[in-house]
Amino acid sequence: MGRIARSLAVIVGAVIALSGCGLAIPADPHGTLDQVRDGSLRVGVSANPPWTDTHDDREPSGIEPRLVQRFADELNAEVEWTEGGESTLVSALERGELDIVIGGILDDTPWVDQAAMTLPYTDSTSEHGDRERHVMLTRMGENAFLVELERFLLGNGGVT
Amino acid sequence: MTARFGRTELPDRQARSLKRAERFEWLTLGYLAISIVLVYFVIGSSQAMKAAWIEDLLSLAPPIAFLVAIRIVNRRPTDRYPYGFHRSIGVAHLVAGVALFAMGTFLIVDSAIGLFRLEHPPIGSVQIFGQTIWLGWLMMAVMALTIPLPIYFGRVKMSLAKELHDKVLYADADMNKADWTTAVGTIVGVAGIGIGWWWADAAAALFIAAGILRDGVRNMRSAITDLMDTRATTFDGDRPHPVTAEIDTYLRALPWAAEVGSRVRDEGHVFHVESFIVPRHGRTPSLRKLREARDGCIELDWKVQDIVLVLVDELPEEVGGPVGDRQSERNR
């Protein structure tokens, strides 16, 4: 038992020590949250009304752009919008050129191997009467940013 | 159910150990069922959690194999199975070994691909009782819960495996001992993700997989060599079983025996013994003397089963006789 107790003590000690050094858990390997805070939030929008609407000369509108704008405001960030198709946007997300991709994406999205999915933040009913759960995509493994976004979405739960 | 292995009625001490082993295997199954469900709900996209979960699933194999084998071994020998059903232990052992080996290989490849592709595992949050917390904390908590019991089970089963000379039980005890390393490895991997070391998770999974693979190779080798009738070894396969030497010493001390050599193979719990005896010149023993010699050997250890005494004019080569051509086939 001694060895196990020691190993556990080491782990607990290491975690406490690391959080003591001001290291937030979870952290972002690429530092997304740090770059967004007081900086810019790069959002990919694919048109999918009423969740997202894109216009040639104006900023995107719709439920999700409004949510993202409020999230950016909380982090004191400027939003940089990029419009495009889902697959182009997800590729850009993978390369680290975007921080979030929105577009009325559902939790059964095929992009789960390329992008991290937030918790479903709201439900809707499809025209066939199925329950649909809505998520946003963030860059793989940027967990601090992911958790921050999830906190915001769930805290502002539901869509108004 | 009378506690017995084939025709061998177990001595009280071993019978009690067998009952206890059975109880512990049932407890293990219950514990694993709970652990498998708990871990399933927090796997997320952690490779290490996945490896730990699969390890839990695989850990079901040895207890089930043991419980099934114990029932089969309990049968008496029949016309069709004149050697009894002892080998069912060997078969169970082999099945467990191959399962471990295959899964270890799969997990190593799977985790290595993840590392190679620089996959950054995303771990988000969960909502529990209205609170949003990072799933990683929950993963680590669940893994920490799975540490103490396997250690206890492993210790008890290890001593019972020794008592019963049961290699499936030994393999199981060994796996329980490996379980806590798996849990610690997973905690380290998830904590690694937590502080931004995306590779820590896959690395921890590789470490766990290597452990599973090692268990698989060791058990598979031990099961195969036993089925190949390797000489009987101690329950952990470390060294030749002392009972072989004891039998030889006992028989050699008989006044009518000149040279003695025994072949002993492990049938699962009990041994099949063939002792070759060269009688002293002109002193062929009577049937009564032979029976006394046989009973004397059985007294040495409860594992001595189906002992056959063979009178020969020259010992076979493998048990100490002179080197010669095609001698063993004739068992001279």
Chain B: residue nearest A16 by CA? B191
The pLDDT value given to residue A23: 59
Q: Is A53 helix (H, G, I), strand (E, B) or coil?
A: strand
Q: Is B252 at the interface with chain A, CB within 8 A?
A: no
Mean pLDDT of chain B: 86
Confidence band (pLDDT; 50, 70, 90) for A157? low
* B197: exposed, middle or buried (Cβ count in 10 Å: 0-12, 13-18, 19+): middle
Under 8 Å CB pairs connecting chains A and B tally to 88
A101-107: average pLDDT: 91
Task: Kindly state the greatest CA–CA separation across chain A.
Answer: 67
Which pLDDT tens digit goes with each residue over B163-189?
888 888 888 888 887 787 888 888 988
The pLDDT value given to residue A20: 54
The pLDDT value given to residue A14: 64
B191 contact residues in A (CB cutoff 8 A) = 11, 14-15, 25
For residue B270, give both structure tokens.
């009990």
**Yes or no, beta carbons of A1 and B151 under 8 Å apart:** yes
Residues in Cβ contact with A42 at an 8 Å cutoff, skipping those fewer than 6 apart: A80, A82, A97, A98, A99, A100
Distances, alpha carbon B124 to alpha carbons A45, A116, B4, B154, in Å? 22, 8, 54, 34
pTM of the model: 0.78
The pLDDT value given to residue B326: 56
B42-63: average pLDDT: 86
The pLDDT value given to residue A160: 44
* A126: exposed, middle or buried (Cβ count in 10 Å: 0-12, 13-18, 19+): exposed
Confidence band (pLDDT; 50, 70, 90) for B40? very high
Q: Is A14 at the interface with chain B, CB within 8 A?
A: yes
Residue A130 is which amino acid?
D
User: Is residue A134 within 8 Å of residue A102, measured between CB atoms?
Assistant: no
A6-14: average pLDDT: 67
The closest CB to that of B196, out of A29, A150, A151, belongs to A29
Which range, of B101-110, B224-233, B275-284, B319-328, averages the lowest pLDDT? B319-328
Q: Is A17 at the interface with chain B, CB within 8 A?
A: no
Q: Is B121 at the interface with chain A, CB within 8 A?
A: yes
Q: What percent of chain A stands above pLDDT 70?
A: 82
User: Is residue B274 within 8 Å of residue B308, measured between CB atoms?
Assistant: yes
Distance (Å) from the alpha carbon of B196 to chain A's nearest alpha carbon = 5
The pLDDT value given to residue B7: 67
B194 contact residues in A (CB cutoff 8 A) = 15, 25-27, 143
Confidence band (pLDDT; 50, 70, 90) for B129? confident
Distance (Å) from the alpha carbon of B19 to chain A's nearest alpha carbon = 26
Burial of B83-115, coded b for 16+ CB within 10 Å and e otherwise, reads ebbbbbbbbbbbbbbbbbbebbeebbebbeebb
> What span, in angstroms and rounded, lies between the C-alpha atoms of B299 and A75?
82
Distance (Å) from the alpha carbon of A26 to chain B's nearest alpha carbon = 4
Q: Is B145 at the interface with chain A, CB within 8 A?
A: no
The pLDDT value given to residue A8: 63
A35-53: average pLDDT: 90
B50-65: average pLDDT: 87
Which pLDDT tens digit goes with each residue over B266-284?
888 888 999 999 998 877 8
The pLDDT value given to residue B324: 67
Which pLDDT tens digit goes with each residue over B178-225?
787 888 888 988 898 888 888 888 888 888 889 889 888 988 988 898
> What span, in angstroms and rounded, lies between the C-alpha atoms of A90 and A100?
9
Q: Is B141 at the interface with chain A, CB within 8 A?
A: no
The pLDDT value given to residue B98: 87
B98-118: average pLDDT: 84
Q: Say if residue A1's pLDDT is above 60.
A: no
Q: Is A116 at the interface with chain B, CB within 8 A?
A: yes
Query: HEC string of B202-239?
Result: HHHHHHHHHHHHHHHHHHHHHHHHHHCCCECECCCCCC
Best probe of the B interface among A107, A143, A153, by most B CBs < 10 A, is A143
The pLDDT value given to residue B3: 67
Residues in Cβ contact with A123 at an 8 Å cutoff, skipping those fewer than 6 apart: A131, A132, A133, A134
Specify which of A45-49, B19-23, B310-314 reaches the highest per-range mean pLDDT.
B19-23
B188 contact residues in A (CB cutoff 8 A) = 11
The pLDDT value given to residue B74: 84
> What span, in angstroms and rounded, lies between the C-alpha atoms of B287 and B281?
17
A109-137: average pLDDT: 88
**Yes or no, beta carbons of B124 and A140 under 8 Å apart:** no
Distance (Å) from the alpha carbon of B171 to chain A's nearest alpha carbon = 20
Q: Say if residue A16's pLDDT is above 80.
A: no
The pLDDT value given to residue B284: 84
**Yes or no, beta carbons of A141 and B136 under 8 Å apart:** no
| Chain centre to alpha carbon of residue A95 | 15
